[in-house]
């Protein structure tokens, strides 16, 4: 049986020189922030049975636990620096730890984001990561910065993660190929870090967030904080390739209110349009203009002809228990 310290040493302490002044092994890690930069900090917890199914593949879980945190940095336009990992494990299952740490470090290395510490305890499987990034003063993409007349943009595509959930929950019958393809969006989200950093450093966007609980609900946070409204064109929303084969009602519902996409939703002045398209091309991420910020409060969903769509579209609320992912 592995001791707590052997477990940390074997799977998480890679003892390689990194950006941190002091990494794993002392009471605290030490970071030396780049002069003049602000530190962006975010935590996200993944709970078995709530955010992932019991028995979920460990490698995918390692990827996803860090991906959702990197996505928060992306939504702020911050550059990843390091993260801590607080882990409750039912047992020291070496095959699980091997897979989890591989998935985690593959994504961490791809983003130059170092594991600098954490905590390990026995308990029901629970993974909490706190991530640290840096952003120049005044460059962070805040939720309170949208202005009337701004375009609303979405990165990538929406809805396939929600479709995968519908398949797993037997809300819908999917073929094995559809389940596998849509499932990749749910299990292996790609945090849009490069895009977020370009939008912030080139001052192209104003407000941004990442879509974890569904576009309509999440965009609502920007509207509330910025004290504005919005009109979204449901027919302009970029559809995930698997969902694109389904009927229009389902497409609209899952694109507008499905969770777990981890795409960026951001607002930007009309003058940024060409530069945003260039930024998307530069980092290989599709960017689609889907609506406009209005001075009048409220969120209006219209179709391509401008007709108003009345849809029951709530984001996911863990305590209210509304539908979603
Ligand atoms: P303390 O009791 O002082 O909080 P711990 O014994 O919990 O320290 O942890 C020892 C060292 O290992 C610390 O530097 C801590 O940050 C690190 N650590 C513990 N668990 C993890 C983990 N899951 N991933 C990375 N580092 C960890
Ligand atoms: Mg501790």
* pLDDT tens digits, 247-292: 999 999 999 998 899 999 999 999 999 999 999 999 999 999 999 9
Nearest CA owner, ligand 1 atom 12: 25
Q: How far apart are CA 237 and CA 216, in angstroms?
A: 12
Write out pLDDT tens, residues 3-29. Answer: 888 999 999 998 777 889 999 999 999
State in Å: Cα 235 to ligand 1 middle.
49
State in Å: Cα 30 to ligand 2 middle.
15
Rg (CA), the chain: 20
State in Å: Cα 7 to ligand 1 middle.
10
Write out pLDDT tens, residues 187-218. Answer: 999 999 999 999 999 999 999 999 999 999 99
Bridge-based pairing state of the strands 151-155 and 287-294? antiparallel
**Residue corresponding to tokens 């009602």:** 249
Q: Which of 2, 5, 8 to mutate to test the pocket of ligand 1 (most atoms within 8 A of CB)?
A: 8
Q: How far apart are CA 248 and CA 121, in angstroms?
A: 47
pLDDT of residue 306 exceeding 90: no
Question: Can you read off the two tokens belonging to residue 188?
Answer: 């292996």
Give the pLDDT of residue 14.
Answer: 87
Q: Which of 14, 117, 122 to mutate to test the pocket of ligand 1 (most atoms within 8 A of CB)?
A: 117
Q: Which ligand is nearest to the CA of 28?
A: 1
Q: How far apart are CA 1 and CA 227, in angstroms?
A: 56
**Residue 247 annotated as binding?**
no
Q: How far apart are CA 65 and CA 52, in angstroms?
A: 10
Dihedral sign, CA of 239, 243, 249, 250?
negative
Q: Which ligand is nearest to the CA of 88?
A: 1
Give the pLDDT of residue 319.
Answer: 52
Q: Which of 26, 86, 118, 128 to mutate to test the pocket of ligand 1 (most atoms within 8 A of CB)?
A: 118
Q: What is the mean pLDDT of residues 136-146?
A: 98
Q: Which ligand is nearest to the CA of 66?
A: 1
Nearest CA owner, ligand 1 atom 10: 25
φ/ψ of residue 22, rounded to 5: -145, 125
**Residue 109 annotated as binding?**
no
Q: Which ligand is nearest to the CA of 26?
A: 1
Ligand 1 pocket, residues with Cβ under 6 angstroms: 8, 12, 24-27, 85, 87, 115, 117-120
Distance from the Cα of residue 282 to its chain's centroid: 20
Terminal CA-to-CA distance of the chain, rounded, Å?
Answer: 36
Instruction: Classify 183 as helix, strand or coil.
Output: helix
**Residue 274 annotated as binding?**
no
pLDDT band at 143 (very low <50, low <70, confident <90, very high): very high
**For residue 68, with 0-12 CB atoms within 10 Å meaning exposed, 13-18 middle and 19 or more buried, which class applies?**
buried
Q: Between vectors from CA 67 to CA 198 and to CA 225, what angle results, nearest 5°?
A: 60
| pTM score | 0.94
Give the pLDDT of residue 302.
Answer: 94
Which domains, and CATH codes, for the chain?
4-135 (3.30.1330.10), 151-302 (3.90.650.10)
């Amino acid at each position: 049986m592995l001791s707590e310290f052997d477990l940390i040493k074997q799977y998480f302490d890679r003892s390689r020189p990194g950006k941190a002044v002091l990494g794993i092994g002392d009471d605290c890690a030490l970071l030396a922030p780049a002069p003049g930069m602000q530190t962006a900090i975010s935590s996200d917890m993944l709970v078995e049975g709530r955010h992932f199914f019991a028995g979920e593949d460990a490698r995918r879980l390692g990827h996803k636990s860090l991906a959702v945190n990197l996505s928060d940095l992306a939504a702020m336009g911050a550059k990843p620096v390091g993260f801590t990992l607080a882990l409750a494990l039912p047992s020291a299952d070496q095959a699980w730890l091997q897979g989890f740490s591989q998935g985690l470090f593959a994504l961490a290395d791809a983003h130059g984001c170092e594991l600098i510490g954490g905590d390990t305890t026995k308990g029901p499987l629970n993974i909490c990561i706190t991530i640290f990034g840096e952003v120049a003063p005044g460059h962070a993409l805040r939720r309170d910065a949208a202005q009337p007349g701004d375009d609303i943009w979405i990165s990538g595509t929406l809805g396939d993660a929600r479709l995968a959930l519908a398949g797993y929950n037997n809300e819908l019958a999917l073929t094995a190929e559809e389940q596998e393809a849509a499932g990749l969006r749910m299990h292996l989200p790609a945090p849009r870090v490069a895009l977020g950093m370009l939008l912030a450093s080139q001052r192209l966007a104003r407000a941004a967030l990442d879509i974890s609980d569904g576009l309509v609900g999440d965009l609502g946070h920007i509207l509330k904080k910025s004290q504005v409204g919005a009109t979204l064109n449901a027919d302009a929303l970029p559809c995930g390739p698997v969902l694109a084969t389904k009927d229009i009602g389902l497409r609209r519902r899952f694109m507008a209110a499905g969770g777990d996409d981890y795409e960026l939703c951001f607002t930007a002045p009309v003058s940024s349009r060409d530069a945003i398209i260039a930024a998307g091309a530069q980092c290989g991420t599709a960017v689609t203009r889907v609506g406009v910020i209005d001075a009048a409060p409220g969120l209006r969903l219209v179709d391509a002809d401008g007709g108003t769509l009345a849809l029951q579209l709530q984001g996911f609320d863990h305590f209210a228990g509304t539908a979603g992912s």
